[in-house]
Amino acid sequence: MRYTIAVHESLIEQANNLAAFIGAGPEDMQTFGASPWRNSEGAAFALASFVGPSDLPSALKTSLARPDWDVDGLVDLGAATAALAVLDLPDPETASAPMATKGRIAVVPRMEGPAAISALGLSYPKEEED
Q: For residue 129, tell me if it sits in a domain.
A: no
Q: For residue 52, tell me if it sits in a domain.
A: yes
Domain residues for the domain of 104 are 2-120
Q: State the pLDDT at residue 63.
A: 76
Q: In this predicted model, what pLDDT tens digit does every residue of 68-127 receive, in sequence order?
A: 999 999 999 999 999 999 999 887 777 788 999 999 999 999 898 899 999 999 998 876
Q: For residue 76, tell me if it sits in a domain.
A: yes
Q: State the pLDDT at residue 127.
A: 64
For the chain, how many structural domains are there in total? 1
Quote the strand ranges of the chain, DSSP E.
2-8, 37-38, 44-51, 87-88, 105-109
Q: State the pLDDT at residue 41.
A: 94
Q: State the pLDDT at residue 129.
A: 52
Cα Rg, the chain, nearest whole Å: 15
Q: State the pLDDT at residue 83.
A: 95
Q: For residue 128, tell me if it sits in a domain.
A: no
CA angle 54, 60, 65 (to 5 degrees): 115
Q: State the pLDDT at residue 130.
A: 52
Ramachandran region of residue 94, left (φ > 0), alpha (ψ -120 to 50) or beta?
alpha
Q: For residue 125, tell me if it sits in a domain.
A: no
Q: For residue 35, tell me if it sits in a domain.
A: yes
User: Among 28-32, 35-39, 63-67, 68-72, where is mean pLDDT lowest?
Assistant: 63-67
Q: For residue 126, tell me if it sits in a domain.
A: no
- Name the residue among 122, 62, 63, 114 with its Cα closest to residue 98: 122
Asked if the model's pLDDT at residue 62 lies above 70, the reply is yes
Q: In this predicted model, what pLDDT tens digit does every residue of 37-61 receive, in sequence order?
A: 999 999 999 999 998 888 887 877 7
Q: For residue 127, tell me if it sits in a domain.
A: no
Q: In this predicted model, what pLDDT tens digit does every residue of 14-28 receive, in sequence order?
A: 999 999 988 889 999
pTM of the model: 0.88
| Bigger pLDDT: 125 vs 31 | 31
